[in-house]
Amino acid sequence: MGWPATIVFDLDGTLVDSAADLTAALNAALRDADRPEVDPATVRHLVGHGARALIERGLALSGGGGEAEVARALPVFLDHYAGHIADATLPYPGCEAALDALAAAGARLAICTNKPVALSRALVAALGWTDRFAANLGGDSLAVRKPDPEHLRATIAASGGEPASSVFVGDTAVDVATARAAGVPVVACRFGFGEAAALDRADAVIDRFSDLPAAIAGLVR
């Protein structure tokens, strides 16, 4: 298909290391619920299914919680995170240079994340990235979210692309499963928040962003 016309990225653990800010927000919610706090290394393995799932997993570390407890904790998490969305979050090394190279090669770029769309857009704006992406769909942009393939397909469509000429870049098993279901080649980032299963099932794996252009080129020859 030649060089892909559209390259879609997951956000947390793929474009940015947001573990510290997500941990701070989760700990605010856990403190409010009189639960023990967690460390960033633990939170890295809880991310991928959106804010509600992160709260559920955080509560599960200290005995779990019912729907009422999750419902109380969720706005505490979201309010704290919205106010501190880029305190410590940074792009991974080489990320911006890779995005520049892909855009210069003619690819349109997009984001498909399970983070609530308002928070995704706020983070992208805080990083000065708004103009880099043709579309940014969050976990509440549709009635479905990753790993449902429609989330990825809708992101591609919103950016003006087609699945047949797209590539997805992510870090978790959720991302790989989404791409597989959508029939889109997928690159997994070893440096992200994901698990070995994500790497095993991806079409290509990168250890650093400087490897991304070559990995994508290898997929589409």
Q: What is the CATH number of the domain that holds 192?
A: 3.40.50.1000
pLDDT (0 to 100) of residue 1: 44
The pLDDT of residue 221 is: 59
Whether 171 maps to a domain, the answer reads yes
Whether 124 and 192 share a structural domain: yes
CB contact at 8 A, 10 and 113: yes
List the structure tokens of 154. 């809708």
DSSP state of 92: P
- Asked if residue 143 and residue 179 are part of one domain, the reply reads yes
Residue 1 domain-assigned? Answer: no
Which stretches of the chain drop beneath a pLDDT of 70?
A: 1-2, 48, 221
Integer angstrom CA distances of residue 173 from 10, 18, 37, 57, 129: 12, 18, 26, 16, 26
| Residue positions annotated with a catalytic role | 10
Domain closes at, from 45, 64, 83: 83
* pLDDT score, position 2: 58
Q: For residues 209 and 97, is the Cβ–Cβ distance under 8 A?
A: yes
Looking at residue 186, its pLDDT comes to 97
**Phi/psi of residue 170, each to 5°?**
-150, -170
Residues 165 and 211 in one domain: yes
Statement to judge: residues 144 and 215 lie in one domain: yes
Q: Report pLDDT digits (tens) over 44-53.
A: 888 767 788 8
169 and 208 part of one domain:
yes
Could you list the residue range(s) of the whole structural domain that residue 201 is in?
Answer: 6-17+89-220
